[in-house]
């Protein structure tokens, strides 16, 4: 399927047009009622665009449209109750329980504003609901190549928050993947067909050498630009190389609206960091001509500084962020 060059594989955010195709990449071992499994695109539609929902796909660009997805990963931000449950009494198949609660409205991930407060306090936690890819044989170099893209997307999906915990359930061959990523076992159930819970805390990550995907996701610097939620959504799509037309389709926004958001994001960037566009900005008359260069400069910076794409509220002066 692949040629080892990496040119066919592309990782990006899940889009509305992917939902039906993505359904086939939900792991079979996840015990979801048939009606819930069939309704997953409806659940995902409600979650797409929310800061507390990370959904990424890997596509093989040499496949026909509609058959390109070869990897899918999804994660959900946890509220206080679920953070406590996973820390002290994690239920088996936590992902399935959360999906059921999402489907019937018993659970909603923290809002953008609440995630901003949680990040300021250093209390953000995510559970990876599932990851699946079409190739699994580690002796196949294409499998390893696909996993490399998946690791990169994992970092990009979770980096930039002031994380407290990351969790993922693992079963069978997934256990080796999770351990190689830096996760540590949280349960020892030893029951056939029942996944173990793996996790990593900020304190544990701080004691690991840089390099593992999970450890690296805990790196954090407070954002400087203060983008609005709409600007962050635009920029998250743009860093995966979507065109303005594709971004507009995903956001349900006109091309004029997309360009207006671009202008406000660039202006906010310039106000926060005047040196960002040094050598490009020129005078006001240059704004249109220099637009593409400014975009490339801003997107390059954002790929190196994912915290700018996350909600964040500085803690009150008398409440220091935990180390």
Strands (E), 3-159: 9-13, 53-60, 69-77, 124-133
Exposure string for 156-180, b = 16+ CB within 10 A, e = fewer: bbbbbbbbbbbbbbbbeebeebbee
Scored b (16 or more CB within 10 A) or e, 89-113 reads ebebbbbbbbbbebbeeebbbbebe
Q: In what order do the strands lie in the sheet with 53-60?
A: 9-13, 53-60, 69-77, 124-133, 163-170, 196-201, 184-185
Q: What is the tens place of the pLDDT at every residue in 244-276?
A: 999 999 999 999 999 999 999 999 999 999 898
Buried-exposed string 224-259: b where 16+ CB fall within 10 A, e elsewhere: ebebeebbbbbbbbbbbebebebbbbbbebeeeebe
How far, in Å, CA of 188 to CA of 295, rounded?
49
What domains are defined for the chain?
Answer: 9-216 (3.40.630.30), 229-304 (no CATH)
Tens digit of pLDDT for each residue in 193-228?
999 999 999 999 999 988 888 999 999 999 999 999
Residue 20 has pLDDT above 70, yes or no: yes
d(CA 52, CA 123): 13
Task: Determine the pLDDT at residue 174.
Answer: 87
CB 168 within 8 A of CB 198: yes
Average of per-residue pLDDT across 291-320: 87
Contact present, 165 and 200 (Cβ < 8 Å): yes
Between the two ends of the chain, the Cα-to-Cα distance in Å is 45
What is the model's pLDDT at position 265? 95
pLDDT for the residue 172: 87
Using CB atoms within 10 Å of the CB of residue 313, give its burial: 0 to 12 exposed, 13 to 18 middle, 19+ buried: middle
Q: How far apart are CA 160 and CA 255, in angstroms?
A: 28
Mean pLDDT of 129-156: 92
* pLDDT tens, position by position, 174-196: 898 899 899 999 999 999 999 99
- Six token digits for residue 311: 């909600």
- Cα atoms in the 13 Å half-sphere on the side-chain side of 202: 19
């Amino acid at each position: 399927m692949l040629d080892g060059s990496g040119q066919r594989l592309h990782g990006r955010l899940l889009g509305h047009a992917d939902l039906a195709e993505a359904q086939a990449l939900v792991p079979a071992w996840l015990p979801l009622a048939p009606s819930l499994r069939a309704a997953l695109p409806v659940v995902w539609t409600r979650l797409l665009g929310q800061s507390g929902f990370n959904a990424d796909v890997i596509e093989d660009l040499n496949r026909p449209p509609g058959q390109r997805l070869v990897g899918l990963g999804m994660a959900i931000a946890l509220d206080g109750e679920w953070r406590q449950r996973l820390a002290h009494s994690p239920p088996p198949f936590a992902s399935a329980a959360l999906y059921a609660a999402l489907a019937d409205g018993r659970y909603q991930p923290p809002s953008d504003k609440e995630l901003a407060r949680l990040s300021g306090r250093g209390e953000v936690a995510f559970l990876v609901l599932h990851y699946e890819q079409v190739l699994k044989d580690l002796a196949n170099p294409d499998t390893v190549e696909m996993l490399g893209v998946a690791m990169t997307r994992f970092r990009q999906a979770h980096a930039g928050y002031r994380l407290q915990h990351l969790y993922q359930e693992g079963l069978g061959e997934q256990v080796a993947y999770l351990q190689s990523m830096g996760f540590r076992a949280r349960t020892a159930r030893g029951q056939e067909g029942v996944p173990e819970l793996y996790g990593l805390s900020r304190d544990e990550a701080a004691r690991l050498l840089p390099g593992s995907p999970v450890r690296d996701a805990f790196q954090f610097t407070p954002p400087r630009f203060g983008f609005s939620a709409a600007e962050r959504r635009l920029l998250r799509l743009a860093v995966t190389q979507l065109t303005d037309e594709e971004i507009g389709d995903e956001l349900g926004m006109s091309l004029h609206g997309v360009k207006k958001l671009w202008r406000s994001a660039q202006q906010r960037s310039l106000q926060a960091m005047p040196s960002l566009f040094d050598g490009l900005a020129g005078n006001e008359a240059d704004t249109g001509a220099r637009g593409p260069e400014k975009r490339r400069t801003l997107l390059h910076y954002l790929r190196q500084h994912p915290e700018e794409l996350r909600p964040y509220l500085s803690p009150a002066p008398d409440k220091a962020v935990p180390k």
